[in-house]
Amino acid sequence: MTKIVFFDIDGTLVNHRNVIPESTKQAVKQLKANGVIPVIATGRAPILIYEIQKELEIDSYISMNGQLIIHEGEVLYHNPIQTETVERLMDQAVKRKDGIILCGSKDIYSNALVSLAKRSSVWTVLKALTKVIPGRVQLSLLKRAIKKPPRKTEFDGKPIYQIILETSMEEEKHYRIEFPELHFARSNKLTVDIISSGVSKATGIQRFLEEVGGKKEHTYAFGDSPNDFEMLDFVQTGVAMGNGWEEVKNRADYVTTSVDEDGIQKALKRFGLI
């Protein structure tokens, strides 16, 4: 009877400064000691997961909202978006003057500024700054940085699993109508994650369980934003963070305290997992 706990990253494992609380580190360590399997389930691309994996020593993850699944270093599932769809969405973003980032399995493609930073020591500095720059400011800077689309030569021939679009919740409705083959999963008010229709963190969890022989009745999940809806609905016990969106709290089975108030540790103790 192996129990599995799925963790979102932003607003769940890490706070708005991109820092993992010490209580969370201790809780995950105790989980593993108790024979419970921790799995990351995030909208982030793999390149932005590695440091969290290393710090928590978690070797399995569902990334890009279910588009790519890795178990102990091995690919269990991958589902790139059709090239024609990616290019058509890019064209629409340019027309609407919306920022856009393309996420691959090993890289992120954006405009020249972001690409330059990503390929140099500046990228390390930028990630370090996220520990001291408030989340709202980070998003504001990102909004300005991604206005220009990536050059097609940057990602030509490479699979794209997720598109991050800088657009309002109101404008997002137009994209939903124009691209019924895509699924829109929002984790903040400035950007929306776009993946293939029919895919979500929930489908990622289902595929993960099928591959490892896990049972749904032994699953738990922690999340804080709308892209966690399906995941929290799917697992046996869905836990919303105290700092999460109200809509998420309303759908969860249990609401714990915030990231910085030892929310993960308290909930894991509440359910007897640690």
Residues noted as catalytic: 8
Placement of tokens 């091995």 in the chain: 74
Closest alpha carbon to 114 in 169, 151, 160: 151
In eight-state DSSP terms, residue 10 is B
Q: How does 37-75 read in b/e, with b if 16+ C-beta sit within 10 Å? A: bbbbbbbbbbbbbeebbeebebbbbbbbbbbbbbbeeee
Closest alpha carbon to 58 in 37, 27, 34, 35: 37
117 exposed, middle or buried (CB, 10 Å; 0-12, 13-18, 19+)?
middle
Q: Which amino acid is at 18?
A: N
